[in-house]
Structure formats: C-alpha cells, structure tokens
Structure 1
Amino acid sequence: MKKRIAVVAIAALMAGCLTNVGTVSAAEPTEITFWHYMSEDKEGKFVNEAIEEFNNSQDEVHVTAQYLPREELMKQYTIGVVSGELPDCGMVDNPDHASYASMGVFEDITDLYNSWDEADFMEGSINSCYYDDKLYGLPWGNNCLGLFYNKSMLEEAGVEVPTTWSELEAACEKLTTDTCKGLAISAIGNEEGTFQYMPWLLSAGGSVDNLTSDESKESMTYLKDLMDKGYISKECINWTQADAEKQFASGQAAMMINGPWQFSGLSDDAPDLEYGVAKVPKADDGDYASVLGGENVAICKGANVEASWKFLTWITSKEESAKICEAIGRYSPRADVDVQEMYKDDPLNATFAEILPTAESRGPSPVWPEISEAIYSAEQEVLSGQKDVDTAMSDAQAKIDALDK
C-alpha cells in the first residue's frame, strides 16, 4: 500500500513539473557598462550602432554605453580606481594604456587572450596593451597622420603637393594670403599637440629620449619658423585637431596635418571640397614619419570579466573590427584584415593605409602622460615665444629625466 502511494505521489510531482515547464522565464542577460569618448554626433553614433548589433545578436550580455569627453573619461578612471566605481569595460587612448594599467584600472587578461583562438593583431598594436609583460586590453582601432591639401588652391597657386620640408615651406609661401594660411596644425597643450608634433620630431631624426639633440631641436625650430613667417596661425596653440579641420574646411588653410577621422567632418562641413591626402612632408635629409594613434579597449578592475570578455572579443573580431573601423575613420589593428585591399579603390583611405605600417607608437610607457606633457609644454612655450628652442627643449628633457620610469 505504501509503495503504491509513493508511486502515485512521484507521478503527480512529475506531472506538475512538466506542466510548469512552459511557464519558466528565460534568464535576464547580464548587464555591463562600456565607457567611450567617441563624440555622439560623429564617431559615437557608429559605436552605438555596433553595441546595438551586439545586444541583438545574443541574449546573454547586454551592454549599455556611456559617452564621456576624453579628458573627463581619463579623470574618472583615476577617481574610479580609488572609489571602486569603474565601468565593466572601457576605451583608452593607446599611449595612455600602460599608465592606467600601472594604476590598477584594468584587469590582467593575459590568460584569456592566450586561450582565444581568434587572437590575431599587428605587433605594434597589441604591444600598446602590455604593461610589465602582462596584457591589459585589446587594440580596437588605429590611425595615423597625413597631409590634407586643397586641390583647387594648390592648382591655382601652381604648387605641387609638397614632399619635403623645403617644398612645404615654399608651398606655404605661395598659398598664404590675407585670409588663408598655408598650413593648419594643432599645437594645443594636451596629447593632441604631442601627437601632431611627433612626425616632425621623428622625421628629423629626433627622439623623445633625447629632446636636446640637434635633430630634435631642428624639428621645433622648423615649426617656429613657419609660424614666424605667417604660414601657420599663432592660434594653433589653442586649436584641437577638430579646430584645424574647421580651418581647412572653411578655406582658411590650404593644407592641414590631420587624420582619417576627419573625413566625416569634412563631408559635413565642406561637402563640395576637393582635397587629397599625402604623407606628412619629410625633413630634407630625413625619412617620412607618422605616429600611431587610436584606441584600445579593456576590462576594468572588479568588472564582470566573463561578460566583458564576450563583448570585447566580439567588437574586436575580424568582421566587426573591419566594419566599425571603416565607419569611424580608423584602420583595423588585426593582422588578418587586409586594410590596403579594403581601400584599393579609395585614394584617401589608401594613402593612410600605406602610411600606417610605418607609423611609430608613443611609448608604451607607464609615465607617457608626463612625457607627453613635457613635450607639448615645450612646443607651446616655443610657439608662443615664451622660451627659445634650446631652453624649452632642455627644460622638457630635464622633466623627462626626472621621471621614475
């Protein structure tokens, strides 16, 4: 009798379970946050589109993006590592990566990376994510600098696209008028200023490690001479790279030093402008030089590592990397993406794709922000007339030598 009652009870229990199977709700996706500094009205819209695509592609992880201006985002990383209030993952300018990794902002993902079958990045790009022989992020998008030139202005002035410093100076002389400067650059007092100065420094044979060499001083002297002759606006010490783009788009500059992220801005600001892109002119006895720019992505301390890794490996995968980098004016850092083949029918992007492999990185160094500050401060001091080249470069070198590297 007892045995029969037990069997009936078990059967009833199983029946109840089966009837409830259809009412069990699916688990909610894991929520994570992603910080970035891509402007909402430009590159940011493509970031948001990519994140929406990721969220719709699976139901395990849901990403919420938050935009912060670059300087504010960097500040919040510094504050967050102390307060414990960090996002799950975020963006970082590649020369700053080692610095924030050294502060403890990012998680060590070395083991995750080594077990990722699809890991295939260019050496220079992935190296920017290392600190103390451990990996703290993934490269997300690369760029570099080139010379933009107004085709009509050069043609009317009878000027060929300059390839050397002497040719650039001669071109500026012919192109500069009462309403138009020959060249627009950004020499602002932040990382953008250092970024824009680096091609001149490197082409002359100068070095961040020796700012007092004749070659290093030659590069600064050259820019100061262009300004003194009126070929570069004195206002460039206040200009961001976006401001330089505005000068070029409005016809107030015949040429500018800038990067491919400005294509969308030029399309909006001057849709009928006919322009070309070339390598940054080289020192007369030097080599062409450009500098590697772009962003990395990383998982923050205390984050949901598993969910964040799922998102970051998706957004840096071969297919997604090629797609989003093309949209936001970057070039994929992946070795398995043939960037030159992608842009073989696009002269503007093809030029940058040609420049990119030889672009040199800034750092990586945990004290790069301090090194950069010494460099852009020297440039500001020289271009504003506060110090002569010898004094400014010597003072900058002394600051760098005093750093605990």
Structure 2
Amino acid sequence: MQRRSRGLIAAAAALGMTASLAACGTSEGSSDVTLTLVAADYGDSAANSSQKYWDKLVKAFEAKNPGIKVKVSVYSWSDVDRKVKDMVAKGQAPDMAQIGAYADYAADGKLYSAPELLSIPVEADFLPQLSEAGEVDRIQYGMPFAASTRLLFYNKTLFEDAGLTPPKTWAELQDAARVLKSRGVKIPYALPLGPEEAQAETMMWLLSGGAGYTDNVGTYDIDSTENIRTFDWLRDELVGEGLTGSTPPGELNRAHAFAAFTRGDVGMLNGHPTLMQMAAKKGVKFGMVPMPGINGQAKAAMGVADWMMAFKQNGHAKQIGTFLDYVYSEKNVLAFSHEYDLLPVTTSASDAMSEDKDDRQLAEFLEELPNSELYPVGKTSWAQVSADIKQQIGKAVTENGNPASILGQLQREAAAEENAG
C-alpha cells in the first residue's frame, strides 16, 4: 500500500492535504447527513459487544462534527457478511461496512478507493503489507480494520512436568506430542480442520512447509509439491500416530480446540491473541512461540485482517472520509486493539503498542505481523476457494486420505473460480 517516503508523509501532514477534497461532488454540498455503518461484533458477550465501542466512538465524533451523524448496526460474525450482501443486493448498501471481505464489491465498482476518502497522513499510516492486501488492480479499496497473527501455544505445566522445551521443527513437535501422549494428555496437538476455520490451520501448515496458497506471483498453487508433502506428513506423522486426539481433525472446529486448551486437555495448538485471555481466565499457564517449520522456523507467520469499506451508492464521500480519519486515529485504533486483544493496523498505533510495557504479550504477535502472509483476499475468487477448503481439507488427513488428490481438486476448483471472475 504505502510506498511513499516518510518525508512525503510528513510534508503532506504539514500542508494539511486531504485526498477527500477530490471526492467532493454535487452530493457533498451539505454536510448535514447521517452515515450508516454495518460492523462485525468482536465481543463474546453483551458486556464487551462492539456496539459499545462504536457507541462511545460515535458520541465523541459527533460532538466534534455536529453536521455528521453516524448510525452503527453491529451483527455477529456468522451474520454480518450475509447482512451486507443482502443490503447491497436490494440496492440499500450502507455507507460503510466493516466485515471480512471486500474484493467482490470492489471488482463490481461499488466501493470508493481509499485515496478518495482518507487524508494522506491517515492513508499512509496503514501497515504496508495490510494496505497492499487491500488492493484490487493496484488500487486500495479495502482498509484494514483489525489484524492478528498466529503463534504456537503450548501448555507450560504439561511441558514442564514432561521436561519438554517448545518445538522449533516438525520433528521436535512430533517428539513432544509423543511424550505428551505417553503421559495421558488427551490432545497432544490440536489440529482443527473442521469447517469453522480450516482455511487458517491449513495455511499455517502450508507456510511451515515452505509454500502457501499461492506462488511468488500470486497464482493459486494449492497442490504444489511442498503442500502435498506437508499434508502427507500431517496424515502420517501426527494424525496417523494418534497425536491429534480422538476427534477427527475434519470434525474439530477452532472454538472446540480453544475450549479444550483452556481445560488443560491440549498440549499444543496454533492460536491468535484472544486465546491468551481465554486461557488466563481458566488459570492455564501457557507459552507462545513461532510456528515450527519443516527444518526450522516457518517461512512466515499467518496474518489475518478484517476490512473497512465504503460504498458509493449514497455519495457522502467527504463525510465518510472525515469519519474514517477519526476512526483511524492512533487513540481509537489502540482502544479497539486493547479491548479485543487484536493488533493495530497502523504504524503509529503499532509503534505505541510495541513501546508499552502493558502490551508485552501482544508484542509477541506484533513482531510477527510485518513479515506475515495474509490470505489472498484481493482475489474475488478467495471467498469461494476458502469455503471449498473448509469443506474438503479435513479429508486429506484421514486414514485413507489422499492429500495429492484433495489438494489437486482444490487447485482445479480455485483455478476455475479465478478464471470465471
């Protein structure tokens, strides 16, 4: 995203230049408008619902911008993407949506680009790899809103009792899992390849095997030699040895794996920052290390981002830009990140977090973010490809599973979906 120099950014800030000026048109003649935002809920109860975060932010924004009102509707992650899709289909698009994917809407010409909305200093503050992931045809439409990376969590008590150290390679992970199994641990390594989030666990293992979903030029390469080798190893050396517990990986969802970890039933699993709070509440002592690779640390950590986007249908580009500049201030980005144990999406907030002693545990995830690899979210085909992976990948590690066949099928479906788009 931001390939500008710091000097240019500073100069733009000093001059007070804003890209939103260029967006002003006949629909922007009055600033007396009510903006609508549909957003995802990151809370796990009414007490910490994202509605509370947005209500507080909007109240402060409206006090400073009396001509602009903002109405925010928050929905669960299981509903929010579908809700926005239905609204757009009915010709009732919200002004803004904070959801999981943007590429389809961008490809259909329904979104404002980031430069049409944001001031230059705000646009330039996004972390580069996140803003680049928000691009379609080299233009940024998806504005990162929340980010996380994944680390390997391990149960410190189980490891210390068994005299184990955190693994750095696949062989060490397997050896540790064998020891834990011999000591009666129910799930030495939790491998959630169930339909909830199989695409995430899959990607982490593909990266640890030296490849990923795409090749170096961004073309789907799901059935690469490295990826087949990775799933052959998982089938034979982890699942085949009974090191992943009694529930077949294809039936194990992330939420159930996390819950088992907080009960002390899991030795190791890949997790994101929210697992820290969940485990701490249950009194589970845990450690976190980078995902082991086939012969050392994985090629890259997996990064995940959720997206803010703005629809053209109602106009209001200037007012949307004013609101989003406020949303992406360092103070507000940090407030959201702290509330939900997520990583900041801006350089300024990331720098502040890395310097804050109270953020020591999040800093471990933060260190992984600059070199992390994200899903290929800029592809309009990704939503369907991800859905296919969720439904099929668990079959690859069954007793008679054929990774080459399953990955080959996923590759063919991905290529077809890409060509259709």
Q: TM-score, normalised by structure 2?
A: 0.80
Aligned to 2:79: 72
Residues 43 and 351 from structure 1, CA distance in 2 versus in 1: closer, same or farther, beyond 3 angstroms? farther
Q: What is the CA-CA distance between 1:54 and the residue it aligns to?
A: 2.4
Cα deviation, 1:53-102, whole Å, max 9, x if unaligned, reads: 32332233333332323242222233222211232211122xx3223322
| Identical-residue share of aligned pairs (%) | 20
Query: What is the aligned partner in structure 2 of residue 13 from structure 1?
Result: none
AA aligned to 1:369 is A
Tell me, yes or no, if structure 1 residue 110 matches structure 2 residue 115.
Answer: yes
Q: Distance in 2 between matches of 1:286 and 1:40?
A: 32
Q: Which residue of 1 aligns with 2:23?
A: none
Picking from 387, 398, 402, the partner of 1:388 is: 402
1:298 aligns with 2:312: no
CA distance in 2, matches of 1:293, 1:356: 9
**Are residues 63 and 251 of structure 1, via their aligned partners in 2, closer, same or farther at CA, if it must alter by over 3 Å?**
same
Q: Partners in 1 of 2:300 and 2:84 — Cα distance?
A: 32
The question of whether the paired residues in 2 share the 8 Å contact of 1:151 and 1:276 is answered with yes
TM-score, normalised relative to structure 1: 0.83
Matched, 1:253 2:266: yes
SS in 1 for 2:264: coil
Distance in 2 separating the partners of 1:29 and 1:263: 44
TM-superposition CA deviations, 1:258-289 (whole Å, max 9, x none):
10022333344x1x221111111111166442
- Match of residue 200 from structure 1: 205
Deviation track 1:91-142 (CA, whole Å, cap 9, x = no partner) reads 122xx322332245533343223x4333311111111222233332321121
Contact 1:221 1:389 (8 Å CA) reproduced: yes
Following superposition of structure 1 onto structure 2, how do residues 204-243 of structure 1 map, counting pairs within 5 Å?
A: 204-208=209-213, 209-225=220-236, 226-233=238-245, 234-243=247-256
Q: Does 1:324 align with 2:336?
A: yes
Contact 2:149/2:372 (8 A) holds in 1: yes
Query: Using a 3 Å threshold, how does the CA distance of structure 1 residues 281 and 324 change in structure 2: closer, same or farther?
Result: same
Separation of aligned partners in 1, 2:234 and 2:112: 41
Distance in 2 separating the partners of 1:46 and 1:207: 34
Distance in structure 1 (CA, Å) of the matches to 2:52 and 2:355? 21
Give 2:381's match in structure 1, choosing from 355, 359, 367: 367
Question: Aligned in 2, Cα 1:310/1:49: closer, same or farther, shift over 3 Å?
Answer: farther
Matches for 1:5-404 after TM superposition, within 5 Å: 30-41=33-44, 45=48, 47-57=50-60, 58=63, 59-93=66-100, 96-113=101-118, 115-119=119-123, 120-176=125-181, 178=184, 180-190=186-196, 192-208=197-213, 209-225=220-236, 226-233=238-245, 234-268=247-281, 270=282, 272-284=283-295, 287-303=298-314, 304-337=316-349, 338=351, 341-344=354-357, 346-363=359-376, 364-384=378-398, 387-403=401-417, 404=419
Question: Residues 279 and 150 (structure 1 numbering): CA distance in 2 closer, same or farther, change over 3 Å?
Answer: same
Change (3 A) 1:103 1:184: farther
Query: What 5-or-longer segments of structure 1 have no aligned partner?
Result: 1-26
Aligned-residue CA RMSD in angstroms? 2.7
Where does residue 10 of structure 2 map in the other structure? none
Residues 262/38 of structure 1: CA separation in 2 closer, same or farther (3 Å cut): farther
Q: Which residue of 1 aligns with 2:20?
A: none
Residue 350 of structure 1 deviates from its aligned partner by 2.3
Distance 1:152 1:290, change over 3 A: same
Q: Which amino acid aligns with 1:366?
A: T
Tell me the secondary structure at the aligned position of residue 302 of structure 2. Answer: coil
- Total equivalences in the alignment: 373
Secondary structure, in 3 states, of the residue corresponding to 1:87? coil
Instruction: Give the direction of change, closer, same or farther, for the CA distance of 1:299–1:317 in structure 2 (3 Å limit).
Output: same
